[in-house]
Chains A and B, each alone.
Chain A
């Protein structure tokens, strides 16, 4: 054991001398009587999510499964996206025909420079939270590694209605096993990047994608 480690631990134990040896962490009272489960119906949850994401100045569209491919193509066109980053596991059937896809995979990852020169990225998500308008990524199928949703300037994210939960505690619980069992990195995205550092004026878009578009899919 390093000197610093043993010294820090023994200083801590001394500082806590009034804590009885017999006390275990679980003996310290903790009441989780805050809201852990939501009350809204699934359609109200979807409604709320769309509204809250919209308030972050993200573009939100609700689309039917059968229309998804068409809407993706329209969005890419509107945003002038041709060089589109595609994460591993993303359904290629959905890709517009007239784009230049940049496929990323574990064997041959795209370089930072290629990501920087791309026009955007398209991904799915792991879950979403209505209460806060948050998208949760866990680097699973169709989401890719973290850099993919960070470096490009435009992020087109597909959220399926049944992936949306109402409350933050439900969101954390939904990805708990990704972390405890698989150690996956988790990213919460709530609107495009922003700063209020200059005279408290909010500016959308600093280092992360400046434009976030969310397609909520009904199946």
Chain B
């Protein structure tokens, strides 16, 4: 039995979440707030476009020479006293980590938020061996205590309000007298986790960046739990997707400007830790770096899709996405929600699974994600490219009867329109034309593919003959 067939389609999940008004309210508030703040943080940078271009160029360079950079990184980390492990897939990565933790004979490890470890389901793998992985980000702790799934890359617990969180802490942290003021809730988490940090023997983290030249690994955060996890334990294990490499220390000057402003919309987030192997008398004396493939080389193989690996997980594309705003993160049935999830998940997992194959349709191709992406990933281009692949795949399986099916023609046309990255503007115009195939009376009454069920419930305003910004302003009025 192919168990991956069990992933629900985006359409099916979106229906369930559309009826959850609390969730929709929370997500709407979050995306709106961050979106406005991000704009201010970006607008004060006179060289923003140049930074984006440099970020995109550095990542292009890395991907085209990934093998070299990985070898260089390994050598640098080893020279700095760390250990490097290579993991082809989730199973291998988990096995490596489980073995390392078991050697240390501990039953609990402290963890700092990492989508990569969510992706490989590390916590479950550790639990199977009797090891509890304690999530230490406030939001992740909330999600973990609630036995729930994160709904946003940046604010994973955005679907829970303060009253719900208070109830949760009262029950699970044994805090009977607790108000629902965010300050008090944060304080409760601080007290609970502090003991854990001070006694932790093993810490586990993800990585925002790994520098090939020096072996330096970076974790970017706000709460200080990242510093706790990477500083206080004797042993630190870091899981890093192979695409997170940057060539040199100098490259931080680009990414450490792009990431905070795009992500939390701050000039700089409170804490950034950069460590290079191990340092005598300072921090963990044993450091392991696990380099993870788990489908990334599939993405690399596809010359159009490859740019997906440039992603620095800032979540800006989620916050501007009209589809994400209406459906929330859970509808994507993946640890990577929003526009980035819609292009990354199908490439990591393959499009044979119907649920996964529905993701590239979770978009109106408005282009807002591309406009904000700090590393200029042309998400609409990749979406259309993937839709084309899905149509081809379906055709092979007899899913589409005739070459004249609207879906087929529309997708092929848009695929052509988006082919040239440098011609995005023209592409956008053509996409509007492509959309006309499905537009009646000024409303998109039926979108191609799996999203059609979704529009049947709630008519979407079509993408108008104007730029996204103009359209967005109008729909806010």
* Interface positions of A (Cβ within 8 A of B): 2, 4-5, 7-9, 11-16, 18-19, 23-25, 28-36, 52, 56, 106, 109, 112-113, 116, 129, 131-134, 139, 145-147, 150-151, 168-169, 172-173, 176, 179-180, 183-201, 203, 205-209
Closest to B224 in A: A208
* Min CB–CB distance A164 → chain B (angstroms): 14
* Min CB–CB distance A33 → chain B (angstroms): 5
Please tell me if the beta carbons of A172 and B222 are within 8 angstroms of each other in the complex: no
Chain A residue numbers with a CB within 8 Å of B157 are 197-198
Instruction: Answer whether A34 and B182 are a contact pair too, CB < 8 Å, given A25-B65, A112-B198, A190-B267.
Output: no
**Quick one: which of B47, B70, B224 has the most chain A CB within 10 A?**
B224
Please tell me if the beta carbons of B279 and A198 are within 8 angstroms of each other in the complex: no
Instruction: Answer whether A52 and B267 are a contact pair too, CB < 8 Å, given A4-B88, A18-B303.
Output: yes
Query: When chains A and B are docked, how far (Å) is the Cα of A200 from the Cα of B36?
Result: 13
Assess whether B90 is interfacial by the CB under 8 Å rule: no
Instruction: Answer whether A172 and B30 are a contact pair too, CB < 8 Å, given A25-B65, A28-B64.
Output: no
Chain A residue numbers with a CB within 8 Å of B274 are 179, 185-188
Q: Which of B51, B223, B252, B281 contacts A172 (CB 8 A)?
A: B252
* Min CB–CB distance B82 → chain A (angstroms): 10
* Min CB–CB distance B381 → chain A (angstroms): 18
Which B residues between 126 and 163 are near A, CB-CB below 8 angstroms? 136-139, 142, 155-158, 161-162
Please tell me if the beta carbons of B67 and A207 are within 8 angstroms of each other in the complex: no
Stretch from B187-195, B409-417, B420-428 forming part of the interface with A: B187-195
Interface string of B260-300 (1 = CB under 8 A from A): 10001011111111111101111100000001010001101
Chain B residue numbers with a CB within 8 Å of A24 are 65
Instruction: Answer whether A207 and B193 are a contact pair too, CB < 8 Å, given A188-B272, A196-B264.
Output: yes
Instruction: Answer whether A198 and B162 are a contact pair too, CB < 8 Å, given A16-B66, A106-B281.
Output: yes
Chain A residue numbers with a CB within 8 Å of B254 are 32, 34
Query: When chains A and B are docked, how far (Å) is the Cα of A131 from the Cα of B185?
Result: 32
Q: Which of B183, B228, B293 contacts A8 (CB 8 A)?
A: B293
* Interface positions of B (Cβ within 8 A of A): 26, 29-30, 33-34, 46-47, 50-51, 53-54, 57-58, 60-61, 63-71, 80, 86-88, 92, 136-139, 142, 155-158, 161-162, 165, 182-183, 185-186, 189-190, 193-194, 197-199, 213-216, 222-225, 227-228, 231-232, 242, 247, 249-250, 252-254, 256-257, 260, 264, 266-277, 279-283, 291, 293, 297-298, 300-301, 303
Please tell me if the beta carbons of A192 and B249 are within 8 angstroms of each other in the complex: no
- What are 5 pairs between A and B in contact, CB < 8 Å? A30-B54, A52-B267, A196-B222, A198-B185, A207-B225
The 4 closest A-B pairs by CB, nearest first: A208-B224, A207-B224, A145-B282, A169-B253
Please tell me if the beta carbons of A200 and B30 are within 8 angstroms of each other in the complex: yes
Please tell me if the beta carbons of B216 and A179 are within 8 angstroms of each other in the complex: yes
Please tell me if the beta carbons of B276 and A8 are within 8 angstroms of each other in the complex: no
Query: When chains A and B are docked, how far (Å) is the Cα of A199 from the Cα of B30?
Result: 8
* Min CB–CB distance B29 → chain A (angstroms): 7
* Min CB–CB distance B149 → chain A (angstroms): 15
Please tell me if the beta carbons of A199 and B282 are within 8 angstroms of each other in the complex: no
* Min CB–CB distance B143 → chain A (angstroms): 10
Please tell me if the beta carbons of B231 and A31 are within 8 angstroms of each other in the complex: no
Please tell me if the beta carbons of A207 and B297 are within 8 angstroms of each other in the complex: no
Please tell me if the beta carbons of A208 and B271 are within 8 angstroms of each other in the complex: yes
* Min CB–CB distance A145 → chain B (angstroms): 4
Please tell me if the beta carbons of B297 and A11 are within 8 angstroms of each other in the complex: yes
Closest to B96 in A: A4
Please tell me if the beta carbons of B53 and A31 are within 8 angstroms of each other in the complex: yes
Please tell me if the beta carbons of B61 and A207 are within 8 angstroms of each other in the complex: no
Please tell me if the beta carbons of A176 and B249 are within 8 angstroms of each other in the complex: yes
Closest to A2 in B: B86
Query: When chains A and B are docked, how far (Å) is the Cα of A147 from the Cα of B456?
Result: 56
Chain A residue numbers with a CB within 8 Å of B158 are 200
Please tell me if the beta carbons of B54 and A25 are within 8 angstroms of each other in the complex: no
Chain B residue numbers with a CB within 8 Å of A208 are 223-224, 227, 270-271
Please tell me if the beta carbons of A184 and B276 are within 8 angstroms of each other in the complex: yes
Query: When chains A and B are docked, how far (Å) is the Cα of A139 from the Cα of B276?
Result: 13
Query: When chains A and B are docked, how far (Å) is the Cα of A208 from the Cα of B138?
Result: 13
Please tell me if the beta carbons of A35 and B47 are within 8 angstroms of each other in the complex: yes
Closest to A26 in B: B61
Please tell me if the beta carbons of B267 and A131 are within 8 angstroms of each other in the complex: yes
Q: Which of A30, A169, A196 contacts B57 (CB 8 A)?
A: A30
Chain A residue numbers with a CB within 8 Å of B213 are 180
Please tell me if the beta carbons of B66 and A193 are within 8 angstroms of each other in the complex: no
Closest to B291 in A: A8
Please tell me if the beta carbons of B189 and A150 are within 8 angstroms of each other in the complex: no
Query: When chains A and B are docked, how far (Å) is the Cα of A13 from the Cα of B268?
Result: 37
Closest to A203 in B: B186
Chain A residue numbers with a CB within 8 Å of B33 are 200
Instruction: Answer whether A139 and B155 are a contact pair too, CB < 8 Å, given A12-B66, A194-B270.
Output: no
* Min CB–CB distance B307 → chain A (angstroms): 13
Query: When chains A and B are docked, how far (Å) is the Cα of A194 from the Cα of B34?
Result: 16
Please tell me if the beta carbons of B86 and A194 are within 8 angstroms of each other in the complex: no
* Min CB–CB distance A121 → chain B (angstroms): 14
Query: When chains A and B are docked, how far (Å) is the Cα of A148 from the Cα of B181?
Result: 30
Query: When chains A and B are docked, how far (Å) is the Cα of A27 from the Cα of B268?
Result: 32
Query: When chains A and B are docked, how far (Å) is the Cα of A12 from the Cα of B165?
Result: 44
Q: Which of B54, B231, B256, B283 contacts A34 (CB 8 A)?
A: B54
Chain A residue numbers with a CB within 8 Å of B47 are 33-35
Please tell me if the beta carbons of A32 and B54 are within 8 angstroms of each other in the complex: yes
Query: When chains A and B are docked, how far (Å) is the Cα of A19 from the Cα of B65?
Result: 8
**Quick one: which of A7, A19, A199, A207 has the most chain B CB within 10 A?**
A207
